Homo-oligomer: A and B are copies of this chain.
Amino acid sequence: MITALAGGVGAARLLRGMVDVVAPNDITAIINVGDDTDLHGLHISPDLDTVMYTLAGAINPETGWGLAGETWGVMEALRTLGGVTWFNLGDKDLATHCYRTQRLSEGAGLGVVTGELAASFGVGVHLVPVTDDPLRTRLLLEGGDEVGFQEYFVKLRHDVAVRQVRFAGSEAARPGPGVLEAIDTADVVVVCPSNPVVSIDPLLAVPGIRDALARRRDHTVAVSPIVAGAALKGPADRLLVEMGFESSVVGVARWYASWVSTLIVDESDADLASAVEAEGVRCIVAPTIMSDPDRSAALARVVLGAVG
């Protein structure tokens, strides 16, 4: 049994490789909901959907988010009305959010609804939101404003300095159904190459999860989202520095050291292996850039062979 901690695009690619290596049913992905947002009254869960769409083979391959073959009827009409359009939502994608919001309004938990959607999309991996409770990543900007994650990431294109990150609602949030069990019973806990600060840290902010993970440290392996000092996508590099860490595999090792025993770094970072190990984290060097499904599967094999 494999349990993966997942953000969005990077996690989705590793999981896509993993299902080529082990049965989808043997994988549980615990997914970040700190990126979730409410727009137009709809509950939008970008990381859940990116993983689900990718595993369904339905993701838009050009953007890495949203659905292939989308139409944009709602957004075009909303633009003529002067509505909020900085967060682009395709018509098919909107159907997912309509479904989710309606079911939540009927009293279903986010975990149950996610299971229903995953079944509709034919996804065999267990997709589990880290919590059914509200949890929202909030970023305090240098200027003093605090914004939600999507406003930071999409509207401001993460081109602003961040002073502090917090996870609103985390004190009251409870691990979602199945989350702690999946951590406790996994043969391998995989930390996907997601943003440590805003994709993985929100998972750890839910009371009980950090402790559960720390108990499984020997079985926990992470893939560095930083390659040659930079994030392949998004602001992980910048945020690590803003949080007082290095933008390097060494910074990632330090960020994760208390609950991760092994870090897989890209070949381009081979020279930093001993510096990683100096942080108390075993270092494995392998090709980590998942530019196609074969490379994803190859990385998945390295990950699954790394511990246990």
Contacts and interface: CB of A to CB of B under 8 A. Distances in A.
The dominant DSSP class at the A interface is helix
A95 B82 contact: no
Given A41-B41, A42-B42, A102 B83 contact: yes
A73 B91 contact: yes
A99 B83 contact: yes
Total copies of the chain:
2
B84 A120 contact: no
A133 to B, nearest CB: 18
Nearest to A98: B40
Contact of A74 (B38, B39, B91, B102): B91
A82 B120 contact: yes
Interface in A85-105: 90-92, 94-99, 101-102, 104-105
B105 A38 contact: yes
Interface in A111-137: 116-117, 120
Nearest to A91: B73
A78 interface: yes
Q: Which of A38, A78, A90 has the most CB of B within 10 A?
A: A78
Given A39-B102, A41-B98, A73-B92, 9 more contacts: A41-B104, A73-B90, A74-B74, A74-B94, A74-B95, A75-B95, A77-B92, A83-B98, A94-B94
16 contacts: A40-B41, A40-B99, A41-B41, A41-B43, A41-B102, A42-B98, A71-B71, A73-B74, A74-B92, A74-B94, A75-B95, A77-B92, A77-B94, A80-B120, A83-B102, A94-B94
